[in-house]
Amino acid sequence: MPSCADGFTLVELVMVIVVLSVLAAIAFSRIPDQQSYSSRFAFDEWLAAFRLGQVIALSRGSSGNPIEIRFTQTSDSWQFEVLDNSVALRSSQLIERLEQTARGSSSDFASGCTGLTPLAFPYSIYFNQSGDRSDSLGVSTTTNLRVCIDALEICISPSGYAYAGSCL
């Protein structure tokens, strides 16, 4: 009777180890570094703050005072406050700033984000009672506002709508 050997040969075991090693190398190379996660999280927080400001301005209706979103910067983080006539309605500390830079422009929509001027802090944006982006007196603006967190773009239209992506 022929004997039947159970188990794997050495060649089969080595091939499995080689295949698993290649798959692991591919998987680890696709895991982003902390900087890219941090940039995306900061971008999402800035976008949410702009949208929150517009929602609060719309909900306040005819109060007359524009709602201010004020961003401040420390050496390692950003904070924002939602203010109505200098009275804080909401505040939050945003993500820890690793090496992200906030840049912006209301006129340069062609350059890359790195070509824009860094924002001066404290940085404020206003929304009037109609939810439109405005100046500090509540007068509606007529141009888009472009804000970049590293290479991620936020556009705020004159109607106050903040969206991810390039200003059209």
**Could you read off the pLDDT tens digit of each residue along the chain, which spans 168 residues?**
566 667 888 898 999 999 999 988 888 777 765 556 677 888 888 899 999 989 988 887 666 789 999 999 888 888 889 888 888 888 887 666 667 888 999 888 888 888 899 999 999 999 998 889 999 888 889 999 999 988 899 999 999 999 998 887
Among the four given CATH numbers 3.40.50, 1.10.10, 3.30.300, 3.55.40, the one describing domain 37-164 = 3.55.40
- In this structure, how many other beta carbons lie within 10 angstroms of the beta carbon of residue 10? 7
Instruction: Please tell me the predicted confidence (pLDDT) of residue 63.
Output: 65
Q: Where are the domains of the chain?
A: 37-164
Please tell me whether the overall predicted TM-score, pTM, comes out greater than 0.85 for this model.
Answer: no
Are 114 and 108 within 8 A, CB to CB? no
Instruction: Please tell me the predicted confidence (pLDDT) of residue 8.
Output: 83
Residue 12, both tokens: 């089969």
β-bridge mates for residue 117, sequence order: 104
Residue 83 DSSP SS3: strand
Are 59 and 130 within 8 A, CB to CB? no
- In this structure, how many other beta carbons lie within 10 angstroms of the beta carbon of residue 19? 10
Instruction: Please tell me the predicted confidence (pLDDT) of residue 126.
Output: 93
- CA 57 vs CA 32, 53, 64, 134, 138: distances in Å: 37, 6, 10, 11, 11
Instruction: Please tell me the predicted confidence (pLDDT) of residue 147.
Output: 93
Instruction: Please tell me the predicted confidence (pLDDT) of residue 47.
Output: 92
Instruction: Please tell me the predicted confidence (pLDDT) of residue 77.
Output: 82
Q: How many residues does the chain have?
A: 168
